[in-house]
Chains A and B, each alone.
Chain A
């Protein structure tokens, strides 16, 4: 495919615990390597404890790797990181309105242009949040809060979007809705997305490629491409190809 944007090479992560005398080591990630190309939607799929969230945190720089290299060819600007990060919880500041939460990155970076505000406004439309700009987080449902946090992650127009089980805490119906919202946003912005999930069907529905991970130690089992046509909608979930992918992944994760 096209140019490689995220390159993960031999990343290991060892957590140590206990006292200095009796140090216990726990290998969370063992020699993980993969790449993500520009504009690609890639999912990291695995059971809990496989280190997929840890891996995403290493890629974003929130955690250091014990060894190995992560290179991101997009540099971003000096003030803004090259990626937006969506957490499992929305992590909205409760004292700010939805719109001000979405503009929060600009306040941290200390620069905001007129075009930025216009783009956030547009993203609000894409995320179907029109009319909720001046609502406070406590007035919003879980799904809406998560949509605001996606808008915030995209507000400064980063080329990459990192998502750490963003819909894991939502009910199934809201989750399906947000999957569609995310697909729409992705179709119109064509960001490079790295998406962590433990839901097989979610991974198949959204991704171009799925990196399947296993536990003890956390490692990559296999990379599985998803060749379902785009743009996708709910109908694709009823096709034999979709079932075939889900079945293959389920076998891999057994």
Chain B
């Protein structure tokens, strides 16, 4: 407990140090505001964006895309992952394509999706689902495959039905792998959402970035970048907490 507090204190000091260096640098170098604004400008802009409720709307729009995209991508990843894990023939047949899709930068499809699915939420949801799908699917395959033969023997001795083997053994066994895949997928989701919005949209944090860029508004750009970082940070923490809650029995959570 005490050690944890000290760690927080140290992290806080580092944060303050960065702000001080930033502030001093701006003052000494006399950089114009449109190149590098002082740190407090970010704070003031942040407050202003909240007062005009621009920020809330943008965060909400991005969050909504992530919610739909991530959950549908994760669901498909779990489903396809399980099917491929149970059908090695299918996996072998598809493996070169899966590999290509997995290694290809799916973000590069963003302009295409905007053309196909429009400037609205759908193009981002599809992009996010796609980037989430792969890490979830690959980890799901690994997780289901890693079920040891002994456990199948146990289920067979107990005359377990197929669905019982799936629900009570394979899915539980895959859970640690799946959670890793979901965490990777969530981080990728945020990137995909922002890039998708930058490619063409009418709302969201990526839209604000484009706005800031076109108006040479460095303060707006930096403020939005900070907000995006915070959003990623808190989503990852939420995911980590969920992981620890679900995997309390697993070696990875033993402290």
- Over the window 122-149 of chain A, the binary record of Cβ atoms lying under 8 Å from chain B Cβ atoms (1 yes, 0 no) is 0000000000000011100000000000
CA distance A193 to B208 in the complex (A): 73
Chain B: how many interface residues by the 8 Å CB criterion? 20
Chain B residues near A104 (CB, 8 Å)? 158
Complex contact B151–A108 (CB within 8 A): no
Q: How far is the CA of A89 from the CA of B156 in the complex (A)?
A: 16
A107 and B168 form a contact (CB under 8 A): yes
Q: Say yes or no: is A68 at the interface (Cβ < 8 Å to chain B).
A: no
Residue in A61, A79, A85 whose beta carbon sits within 8 Å of that of B154 in the complex: A85
Chain B neighbourhood of A80, CB < 8 A: 158-159
Cross-chain contact of A108 among B148, B153, B159, B251 (Cβ < 8 A): B159
Interface of B is mostly: helix
> Does B29 lie at the interface of the complex (its beta carbon under 8 Å from any beta carbon of A)?
no
Which A residues touch B150, using CB under 8 A? 87, 89, 91
* Cβ B250 vs Cβ A94 within 8 A: yes
* Chain A: minimal CB distance from B7 (Å): 26
- Does chain B have a CB within 8 A of A15? no
Kindly provide the distance from the CB of B244 to the nearest chain A CB, expressed in whole angstroms: 14
B251 contacts A138, CB within 8 Å? yes
For chain B, residues 202 to 255, give those with C-beta under 8 angstroms from any C-beta of chain A. Answer: 249-251, 254
A136: B residues at CB distance < 8 A: 249
Alpha-carbon distance between A109 and B161 when the two chains are bound, in angstroms: 9
Residue from B148, B154, B156, B159 whose CB has the most chain A CB atoms within 10 Å = B154
B157 interface residue per 8 A CB criterion: yes
How many A-B contacts at CB < 8 Å in the complex?
53
Q: How far is the CB of A96 from chain B (nearest CB, A)?
A: 8
A87-B150, A89-B150, A93-B172 known; A79-B249 Cβ under 8 A: no
Cα–Cα distance between A57 and B175 once the two chains are bound (Å): 30
Decide: A108 and B249 in contact? CB cutoff 8 A.
no
Per-position 1/0 for A201-222, Cβ under 8 A of B: 0000000000000000000000
Kindly state the separation between the CA atoms of A138 and B254 in the bound complex, as whole angstroms.
9
Q: Which residues of B contact A62 (CB under 8 A)?
A: 153, 156-157
Mask: chain A, 51-77; 1 = CB below 8 Å from B; 0 = not: 000000100111000000000000000
A62 to B150, CA, bound (A): 11
> Nearest-CB distance from A31 to chain B (Å)?
25
| A159 at the binding interface (Cβ < 8 Å) | no
Could you tell me if B254 and A81 are in contact, using CB atoms closer than 8 angstroms?
no
> Does the CB pair B157–A79 fall under 8 Å?
no
In the complex where A85-B154, A138-B251 touch, is A108 in contact with B160 (Cβ < 8 A)? yes
* Contact indicator per residue, chain A 85-110, by CB within 8 Å of chain B (1) or not (0): 10101010111100000001101110
Residue B108 interfacial (CB < 8 Å) = no
Q: 7 closest A-B pairs (Cβ-Cβ)?
A: A95-B249, A108-B158, A85-B157, A91-B150, A108-B160, A91-B154, A136-B249
Which A positions have Cβ atoms within 8 angstroms of B? 57, 60-62, 79-81, 83, 85, 87, 89, 91, 93-96, 104-105, 107-109, 136-138
Residue numbers of B with Cβ under 8 A of A are: 148, 150-151, 153-160, 164, 168-169, 172, 175, 249-251, 254
16 examples of A-B residue contacts, CB within 8 angstroms = A57-B153, A79-B159, A87-B153, A87-B154, A89-B150, A91-B148, A91-B151, A91-B154, A93-B169, A94-B249, A94-B250, A95-B172, A95-B249, A104-B158, A105-B158, A138-B254
